[in-house]
Structures are given as C-alpha cells and as structure tokens.
Amino acid sequence: MMKKIKRILLALCVAAMLLSCVGAFAFAENDYVEYTVKGGDTVLNICASLKIDFFANEKWITEVNNIGNYNNIKAGKVLYLPTFDTTKDPTRAMHAKEDVKKLVTANETAAKAAAKAAATPTPVGTTGSGDPIVSYLISHKLEAGETVASVCAKLGVDFDANADKIKKLSGITNYYHVPAGKVVVIPSLTVPTGSDYTAIVAHQVKGGETVGSICSSYKLEYAKVEAQLKALNNTENLNRISTGQTFYLPVSGGAASGTAATGGTTAANAGAAAGTNAAANTAGANVKTYKIGKQTSAHGSFQLQVGGKNITEAGAGNSVTIVATPDTGYKVYSVTVTKAGTEQALPVGNMVFIMPNYDVTVSVTFKAVG
C-alpha cells in the first residue's frame, strides 16, 4: 500500500514539474523585446538604455538577429533583445529564440503579401484597347536649386519608395550630382496640369505576342522606349515574356508644350496616343456609355464634344474633346478629368481625353490674361 502511495505521489510530483515547465515556457511576450534602430544607435547603447547586459547575451543577440557586423546596423532594422540572462537559463533562451524565429517568419510573410498587393497597381484609367492605365510618368526639367526629392515632394510622390525606379528611368547614377537642366522621369498616380507625362499601360500578354509586336500595336518605336520598358518591367531581358504576363509600357498621354512626352509616340492627340483608333469614335458604335459631370468655373464656360456634337455622356474608348470658351480678358488655366467621386486623374492631351469605362468629372478653370 505504501509503495502504491509513493508511486502516486511521485507521479503527482512529475506532473507538477511538467506543468511548471509549461508555465515557464509560456513567456513569449516577456522574454524578449522588439526595438527599431534609430539613427545614431548602437546595439551597446540600446542594451544599456534597456538595462540589458549586452556582453552576457551577445551570442544570443547575434544569432537571433543574424548580425554579421555590429558596425553596419542601419536605422529601421528591428532588433530582438532578451529580457533575461540567456547564459543562466539555456532552455528558456532556446525557446525564446524559437518564438522570435516564428514571429520573424510571420512578419516576413505579411511583408511579402503587402509587397505583392502594392505591386498590383489599381487602374486609374483605360485605353481604347481596354488595357488599364495604372500610373503615369512625369517628365520634369530640373531648375537651379531643385533636387529630385524636392520635385517629388511638389508632385506628391514618395521619393524614397520610387528612388530606384527614377534612377533607371532617368539615367541617374548619383543623386548628389544631378545638374540643373537634367530631365528626370518621375512615376505618379496623378497628372498635374502643365507637366509632360506618359501613361503607363498594363498589357496582358496574349499567345504569340512579342515585345516588338506589342510596341507596334501601340505605335511605339521599340528602340526609343527600350530603356523604359526594362525599368518598368524590372528586367534586362525583354525577349522573355509569357502568355498571361502583365507587361507595362509607356504610352504618350500629353505634353505641356504640345510636343510628344518623353518615351511616348508622336500622336497629335490623346486618342491616338493612348492607342485608340478611329473605329472607337464612330458615331453609333455599340459600346456602353458613361456619364460626364462638369464642374463650372468663373470667367468662362466649356462644352464636351464627340464628333463635333455636344454630349453629357460617352462610350468607353471615345475621344472626348473639351471646348473651352474663356470670358474676355481670360484664358484656360487648368483642365482636369477625374473618376467621378474620386481624385484619380486621367490623362488629357490637347484638350482631349479617352472616355474610360466609368463615370468621370471634368473641371476647367480660367485666369486673367497677363
């Protein structure tokens, strides 16, 4: 009987020890802290500020954070630091390391998903062929005192997020040596009035198509846009495209000076420049129509026309002409076409835009001459 009681007590002790261990391992939130490195930080002073013994925990910190050189830790890096002496409790240190590894994996998965979503642009317009316009390229000639970053700020473009792409598109090797007079090409989701721009079209590659044939369908000269095609599609080999792939190409949208925008075609109006054709504007074409709202402005008026006739709606793919009539002593100051209810801008060239497959709002403003 006593032996049986002893066995039961021993079993209870073992169970208690196991529960104690389980409890000891349920420490994920308290056994390490996350710290985002700031400019001027070092791991040593970070640990000192958090009252962590760096030298006692150096091995754990190095392995967990995959640090190869403590002198090359950049601002923005997330460090995971132990809240206990890892040398005195190896088992706890091992479990904390595993928990951090799971967290890092989860964060990397989330970051990849976010990057994938960001790499799939939301269409801001369409061409007559049905391919979506996902963004624009704005050509800007640097003036004395301007930097690429300051131009991006004026245009509302995130310079840091687009720095590498701007380098490739503009042929820049060093941002510290970009001279006045240099034409830089900047990606943007909107087109400010008075800037040369090119629309970026997302084309779904069909069987048998090549980069050359796609360029021909958009009246683009391959040799002139080759560098932009490589930058937009993040590749140095344009011979490898596959059916179903999204291929980005630059199509002229308009120019402040009335000339073709950088990298685009020499089409005289936005209709031809966006890859449309005369058939898209044929009166009575069997296409769905969408409404065009007008925002009136003082000191003038305007009408919207297709084929010389005033309209309040148009079929997707039609070239819509904006006929503005300023009051005496005034002139057209700005013309914008946006998706109804939003600020998503469509390209306008020579007072012409291509009607997308949704309602739009047209705004024309006027200012005094001189």
3-class secondary structure per residue, 68-82: CCCCCCCCCCEEEEE
What gap in Å lies between CA 277 and CA 38, rounded to an integer? 55
Closest CA to 170 of 241, 225, 228: 228
Quote the percentage of the chain above a pLDDT of 90: 16
286 vs 141 pLDDT, higher one: 141
Closest CA to 195 of 345, 304, 355: 345
Residue 183, both tokens: 């034409």
Q: What is the pLDDT of residue 6?
A: 54
Segment 314-340 shows an average pLDDT of 86
Q: For residue range 30-42, list pLDDT tens digits in order.
A: 789 989 888 888 9
Q: Is the dihedral of CA 224, 133, 138, 185 positive or negative?
A: negative
SS3 39: coil
Q: What is the pLDDT of residue 157?
A: 82
What gap in Å lies between CA 52 and CA 301, rounded to an integer? 70
What are φ and ψ of residue 327, in 5° steps? -70, 165
Per-residue pLDDT for 329 more than 60? yes
Tell me the whole-structure pTM to 2 decimals: 0.37
Segment 81-91 shows an average pLDDT of 92
Per-residue pLDDT for 20 more than 70? no
SS3 341: coil
Given pLDDT bands bounded at 50, 70 and 90, which one contains residue 260?
Answer: very low
Given pLDDT bands bounded at 50, 70 and 90, which one contains residue 249?
Answer: confident
Q: What is the pLDDT of residue 8?
A: 54
Is residue 317 exposed (0-12), middle (13-18) or buried (19+ Cβ within 10 Å)? buried
Closest CA to 37 of 86, 4, 71: 71
Pair 229, 223: CB distance under 8 Å: no
Give me the residues paired with residue 324 across strands: 302
Per-residue pLDDT for 269 more than 50? no
Residue 182, both tokens: 């240099």
Give domain limits for the chain: 23-116, 125-278, 283-368
**What is the 8-class DSSP label of residue 179?**
-
What gap in Å lies between CA 354 and CA 284, rounded to an integer? 17
Is residue 184 exposed (0-12), middle (13-18) or buried (19+ Cβ within 10 Å)? buried
Segment 280-287 shows an average pLDDT of 40
What are φ and ψ of residue 222, in 5° steps? -55, -45
Lowest-confidence segment of 195-209, 235-249, 254-268 by average pLDDT: 254-268
What are φ and ψ of residue 23, in 5° steps? -65, -40
Per-residue pLDDT for 26 more than 50? no
- The whole-chain average pLDDT of the chain stands at 76
Lowest-confidence segment of 82-91, 142-151, 217-226, 269-278 by average pLDDT: 269-278
Per-residue pLDDT for 225 more than 90? no
Given pLDDT bands bounded at 50, 70 and 90, which one contains residue 217?
Answer: confident
Q: For 165, left (φ over 0), alpha (ψ -120 to 50), or beta?
A: alpha
How many other CB atoms are found less than 10 A from the CB of residue 91? 10
Q: Which helix (H) or strand (E) holds 96?
A: helix 90-118
Given pLDDT bands bounded at 50, 70 and 90, which one contains residue 204?
Answer: confident
Segment 332-355 shows an average pLDDT of 81
114 vs 97 pLDDT, higher one: 97
Lowest-confidence segment of 73-87, 155-169, 234-248, 257-271 by average pLDDT: 257-271
Residue 347, both tokens: 């390209």
Q: Which CATH superfamily groups domain 23-116?
A: LysM domain (3.10.350.10)
Q: What is the pLDDT of residue 368?
A: 87
Segment 34-62 shows an average pLDDT of 91
Per-residue pLDDT for 54 more than 70? yes
Closest CA to 151 of 102, 188, 117: 188
What are φ and ψ of residue 163, in 5° steps? -55, -45
Q: What is the pLDDT of residue 192?
A: 56
Closest CA to 209 of 181, 180, 247: 247
Segment 330-350 shows an average pLDDT of 82
Segment 267-290 shows an average pLDDT of 40
Given pLDDT bands bounded at 50, 70 and 90, which one contains residue 191?
Answer: low
Given pLDDT bands bounded at 50, 70 and 90, which one contains residue 240?
Answer: confident
Q: Does domain 283-368 have CATH number 2.60.40?
A: yes
How many other CB atoms are found less than 10 A from the CB of residue 303? 14
- Cite the beta strand spans of 261-342 per DSSP E: 289-295, 300-306, 309-310, 313-315, 319-326, 330-339
Angle in degrees, 0-180, between the axes of helices 222-232 and 159-170, rounded to the nearest 10 = 150
Q: What is the pLDDT of residue 267?
A: 27
Quote the percentage of the chain above a pLDDT of 70: 74
Per-residue pLDDT for 146 more than 80? yes
Q: What is the pLDDT of residue 59?
A: 93
What gap in Å lies between CA 116 and CA 246, rounded to an integer? 14
